[in-house]
Structure 1
């Protein structure tokens, strides 16, 4: 590697940065980690105690709610918790556990008692005591603490069974039998004032035996701290503003360090209470000593990692350059389909983006050039087509004009030479008829030219199209009768909004076209239909079908589908092109299709 290369610089920067980082991390962990751990642990526990105390003061917990909240706190923080009154006696003992299995009962005076049932067995077969919420129960037992509601049971009767304690000698206590089901509320005790008899209902039963020995041990240690705290009155008096007091406590037997937190409370009734929490602080000194040895190996691993990282750096630089080079080669060969996929936010990434932009612009220009060439080809083809159409038009016009001119010339010369003197009037009528045909052709050509040039302005109005269709049918009646055609009009009164004169010309041209190409004794059907605020007009005639590939061509000037089609009724060959232009001016939907018996033309107009 050259000393000025990027890989060389990155290699040495990586070595220095990682070495300094490892040294600083090792020093910080050796010096400050233990203190940092204890500080953060204390902050977390204190915050959770504050949250719990607010819920405790603001909520009127039921027994089950209290037990759940206490259990949640114990599980989430792995900490023992005790709530005491102002003199240090545990308060609401049902809200935390010193025992593996607990039953809470309520008597008729709504007094609650917590009954440890870990050592209670059936007096007959020695099976464990089991109960559930809602069961009636009778208990004889002894108070665990003076003036408290936790009862160490001697005898329990429930569901007709009698259970006894394995931990208390029954013979040492004088107890009279009591029938739980006789309804007698008077309880007669012997001479022992220690025995307490309770009849009530189970409101909570914990038979899971899932409290760990570690948590029982923590609760025992915490109770010792509670007793020690209240034994020293100066500590109690030193509490100010209900702030949390935290201190570490080293347990001599297990040599574990524990954190004890005390939260003073003032209830809504003005009573003073305290929340005591104990959580263990895992020793970190041993872990730090092991980590010091660990970092010795980390230096060797770091060197290996740096070598691999420097190789990755070289790849990180060379790989993008290879990609950029390949794209440049493709561009040189006018292949712009490949993009450079270097996405980094550095000079290489910028070069990649610029190259992609250049490739995209060149590709767009090439595409536009191809489109321009294609358009030029299309224009050339259209020009050829237009030239062909012009030639065909000239040929068609020449044909249309040549025939009547030839006829007129022949008859005029015959009259001049006196050859047809006896038929002079007839030949003059023929000449006049041909002149009228030529005049009609010229007028149609002028009309079509104006329509194609947009020289006509539509004069739209509301009118009933039925009137135009009926009038047109009447005009062509004698021609239809000559061919023995049946004209069927299935039309309704339909007002449309259009140019009445232009639409009349459309219907006249389509009607005359239908008569012209209908077979003798055939039919013509005209039908109207209202659909989606449009009036559709259909004109069908019987006769030969138009080949499908020629349907679009019939709208061209002078176009003939078959040379054999009759011209007996005249026609300039411009009727359908005129129809097409008029309907396009009206933005009409129009067309032609073959039917079972002939051909049908159709178009649409807006409903008035």
Structure 2
């Protein structure tokens, strides 16, 4: 037997357990109250009704028996219904008639201190009616139900003695009260058990939620085989995702701080140059090149601001999807860089492999921004003065590869971060090795909106970027 002390129950009875106990207790109290009211106010009347109905049924059976067989069938009816049946010939002396019937009941072990059949009742019997009476025997603490009927000059009395219903109901109510007290005790133990088995995991989840609110991300191992375990699994998943999102946010904040530092550097340097050369112009020191320098620095600042605006607009702008001939668009982009390519002696090779007959579904303006960024990056960072662009068809997609020479090395993690906003390969901001970190972020954002695949890799002294765009549907080729 397991003994539960009052102190241990109080410890286990937390808020949920107390609430459960109170609800069970209220249900038990309501059930006991209804049972008490039914037993006290409705049961006696129902009991009397059932007894009267049974007595009436037995009497009707006696009335249906033929006169010759009446006395022979009386005992059989008494045995079938478990009643006591006495009979006596009709006597005009009502006192003698009552005494005779009472004596017969006494011989059948139904003692009655009070018994009488009135003249009115005899008159009703003479008319063929049925008379039912209840005789309270206070000293014996019982009642006798008797139904009278007259048949062929014979008065038949069908009776049954029952214990006083008030006493019986009191005993039943006492028994119900004992059951209710026992049920309340059981409810207290069940509430304590429920607390140990069910509320404990909920308490763990509550503490975990409080830790998550304080940004202390962790998981719990709860195995209950029910919805609580599923809830724990969901919260664990949420905690992991929040932790990952928090780490990503911290990384973006770090990159943002780097970007602000870099933008400050990018703007501070040309502003200082512009200020110095402006002062030289003012002092009459201009040798004819000062304004060109000021113009060049202004162009650099304008380009930086344009990149920032492009990246900002990309977050909210919707795509205008249409069929785009990639080769034609790529040739237009390359044509814009023809003079810089010649000036820097950069060799650009385009291999389309019959891709000129295919088109892709894309936003033309956004796709042109992607191609511009990839080509300008290749021109800016190529170390062998060579750029190679390849186009091929693969799995209902047009894949573009753009490769240029690259002498510095990067880890796989750094290659992935090239696509992230504000990331730069070289923190020194060497113009020959890195930019502001926005160009490829713009490319990534556009490609993600197109649900297009993209990637980058280093191999044999080259860096290669690739993108894959869905081809136009059959019959929509340009």
The structure that has the greater radius of gyration is: 1
Q: Which is richer in strand?
A: 1
Q: TM-score, normalised by structure 2?
A: 0.49
Q: TM-score, normalised by structure 1?
A: 0.39
Q: Which is richer in helix?
A: 2
